[in-house]
Structure 1
Amino acid sequence: MIRRDLHQQNRLAWDAATPAHSSHKRDEAGFLRAGGTTLFDDEVHLLLGTGPEGHVLEDIRQSGARPLAGLRLLHAPCNAGQDTLSLAQLGAEVTGVDISPTAIAAAQTLAEAAGIAASFAVADLYDWLPAQEPGFDLVFMSYGALIWMSDLDALFAAVARVLKPGGRFVGLEFHPLAQMYDEQGRLAYPYGGGAHVVGATGVGDYVADSGAALAPSGFVEGRVGFTNPHATHEFSWGVADILGAQLRAGLALEVVREYTYANGCKIWPDLVEQPGRRYAPAGGPVPPLMLGWSSRRPE
C-alpha cells in the first residue's frame, strides 16, 4: 500500500536535515569541478557490470574515460545531488529526483556552481515514475533509499516500466540485517515485510557522525547539535522483499552482492573507519553491512 501521506511527513524531516548535512562539506562545487567524486568503487562496479574487486574510480580518473557516455541514467532518490553529479562526470545524461524541495534546490545550486549538466525534479517517486515514458538505460538507487519506500511492488514495477528493453536497475543499500540495530547498537527494529517504524527523532545528522568519510571534499564542523523537529516513517524491507519485488516486476536478477563494510556512513556506533572511506567492525565476526544488486528488463 502506497503511503503518500507518510512520504510527505518524511519530506519535512529531510527538508530540515539537508542544510545541516551540507554544512559539514567544504567547497563541494570546487571539489567536483576539479574532478573529485563522491562515489565509491562498489556502486561503479555494479553500474559497469564489473568487479567486485579493483579501484575502478582511480582507473577512470587516470585514463580520463567516461564509461557511462551515451546512457540515460535516473538517480532516485538523489538527495542533494552530489552522487548524481558524480555520475554525470562518468558521462551519463543524468536525472535526479527527490521528494525534498530543499534537497533539490541544493542539488541545482551545486550543479550550476560546479558547471556539471544534470536535470533535477521535486516529486514523490510514486507519482513521478508512472508519468514517464520508457527511456532510461539505468535506474540507480543507493544508501538508505528503500526504508522510505512504502510499497516495493508498486515502486519496482514503475522502475521496470521506465527502463528501456535491456536497461538495468542497479542498487546498493545498507543491509536489511544491519538496519535492525539502533544508533546505540541495540537490536531494535523488525526485519522485513514492510513493517512500519516511527522514528521519533527524525533524520539525524549522520554526516557529523561519519566525518570525512561522507565529506570527501573536506569536513568542516558546520552546524553543531542539530535536532530534527519532524518524526519519520520508515518501512522495513528484507532481502527477500527487495529481490522478490524485482522478480515480480519482471526484472531478471543478474548480480547480487553482500559486503562486510558500510560505505561512508557510520551506521553502528562501534564501527571503525577503514581505508577508502569505509566503516567496518574492529574485529571478530563480520556481518553483512551492505546489499547490492543489478537486474535487467528483458529485451
Structure 2
Amino acid sequence: MKKDIRYYTDQNREAWNEAMPKHQAASKERLDQLFSKPGYIYQEDENLLQVLKRIDVQGKDIIHLCCNNGIELLSLKNMGANHCVGIDICDEAIEEAQERAKKCGIDCEFIRSDVYDISEELYNSFDIVQLTAGCIGWIPDLNEFFRIISHLLRVNGFVLIHEIHPFSEMLPFDNNYIENRLQIIEPYFRDEAIVENGSLDYVGGTDYVAKTQYWFVHTISSLIMALIKNGIRIEHFSEHSKDISAGHKKQEELDAQIPLSYILVGKKE
C-alpha cells in the first residue's frame, strides 16, 4: 500500500543523515582541498559539459535540488553563474556544503528542506533548475515535483537533468554475485517503492545495515509526461553508456552500448 509522500521523504532523510558522516570520512578533506583551488570544476562528463556550454550558465540564477554536499553547484558558481541556491533534505549534507562554501569563499546559499516544502518565496526566481544523479529516484511523486520546479523557474528558464537511466535499474549492481552483468533481473515497470536497508556509502564503501530507505524507479515516459503536464517543453534528450550511479561500472566496462545515464533539458513555456 502506498504511503503519504512525507512518510517516504522523512524516512529517507533519516537514512541520509546516517550515511553522510561515512561519506565525509572518505571524501570531505579531499573535496575541501580541490575547491580551495580557484575556479575548480567538479563536473568531468564531457556530454554534460557540452550541454552546460549550450545553455550557458554565465550570469544565470541557478537552484540545484537534491544537491547533496553542494559540489556541483559550487562548480557552476565557479563557471560564472550568478545567484546559486542548493536544496537538500539531508541536514549533514547541507552543513557540509555550507561549511565548504564559506571555507573556500564561494558565494552559494544552501538550504535544508524537503523538495516538497520549498518556500514559495523562491518561486519565479531561477533561470535554471538542476537535477543530478540519484535525485529522481528519491522522489515519490514526479508530477508534484515538476509542478514545484515549474514554479521555481522564470518563463523561458531551463530544467537540466543529468540522471541515472532507469534501464540500468533492471541489471545487477556491481556488488551483486550474478555473473552475467547484462542479465535482466528486475522489472522496468513498478507500482511500489523499492524498500532497502543496504549501505548508502557509495563513496567510502562502508558496509552497514542502514535505516530503511525508499527508492522509486520512474520510467522515461513518466518523466516526460510529468514535464509536459507542467508546461515544460523538452529541448534536448540524449542517452549515454556512461555510468553515473556508482553502481554499474561493470556494465560500462563491458562497452555493451546500453543506456546507463541520460541528459534532458526542458524549457518552461
- Give yes or no for TM over 0.5: yes
Question: Contact between 1:129 and 1:162, CA under 8 Å: does it hold in 2?
Answer: no
Q: What is the distance in 2 between the residues matched to 1:80 and 1:119?
A: 12
Deviates more, 1:130-139 or 1:247-256: 130-139
2:256 is equivalent to residue 281 of structure 1:
no
Match status 1:157 vs 2:147 = yes
Structure 2 unaligned runs (5+)? none
CA distance, structure 2, for counterparts of residue 228 and residue 71 of structure 1 = 42
Secondary structure of the 1:23 match is: helix
Letter in 2 for 1:37: I
Counterpart pick for 2:67 among 74, 78, 83: 78
1:46-195 superposed matches below 5 A: 46-49=51-54, 68-92=57-81, 93-128=83-118, 130=120, 132-183=122-173, 184=176, 187-192=184-189, 195=192
Indicate if the aligned counterparts of 1:43 and 1:171 stay in contact, CA closer than 8 A: no
3-state SS of the aligned residue for 1:172?
A: strand
Query: Does the Cα contact within 8 Å between 2:41 and 2:79 map onto a contact in 1?
Result: no
What is the TM-score when the length of structure 2 is the normalising length? 0.88
Is 2:253 the counterpart of 1:291? no
Give per-residue Cα distances to partners, 1:219-268, cap 9 Å, x unaligned. Answer: xxxxxx341430101111011111111011111100000001113x4322
Change (3 A) 1:37 1:130: same
Q: State whether structure 2 residue 8 is matched by structure 1 residue 10.
A: no
Residue of structure 2 equivalent to 1:37: 41
What is the CA distance between 1:181 and its match in structure 2? 3.0
Aligned equivalents of 1:152, 1:129: Cα separation in 2: 18
Count of residues in Structure 1 that have an aligned counterpart in Structure 2: 256
Report percent identity of matched pairs.
Answer: 24
Name the CA distance, whole Å, in 1 between partners of 2:102 and 2:160.
Answer: 27
Q: Which residue of 2 aligns with 1:62?
A: none
Secondary structure class of the residue paired with 2:215: strand
Residue 21 (structure 1) shift: 1.4
The DSSP-based 3-state class of the residue aligned with 1:37 is: coil
Work out the CA distance in 1 between the residues paired with 2:225 and 2:119.
20
Query: Cα gap change, 1:228/1:98 in structure 2, threshold over 3 Å: closer, same or farther?
Result: farther
Residue aligning to 1:214: none
Report if the CA contact (8 A) 1:192-1:238 is conserved.
Answer: yes
Indicate the larger mover: 134-143 or 68-77.
68-77
The one-letter code of the counterpart of 1:204 is L
Whole-angstrom CA distance in 2 between matches of 1:234 and 1:130? 27
The answer to whether the 8 A contact 1:80-1:106 is kept is: yes
For the residue of structure 2 that corresponds to 1:236, the secondary structure is coil
Shift of 1:19: 1.6
Structure 2 distance, partners of 1:189, 1:85, is 36
Query: Gaps (5+ residues) in structure 1?
Result: 51-66, 210-224, 272-279
Q: CA RMSD in A?
A: 2.0
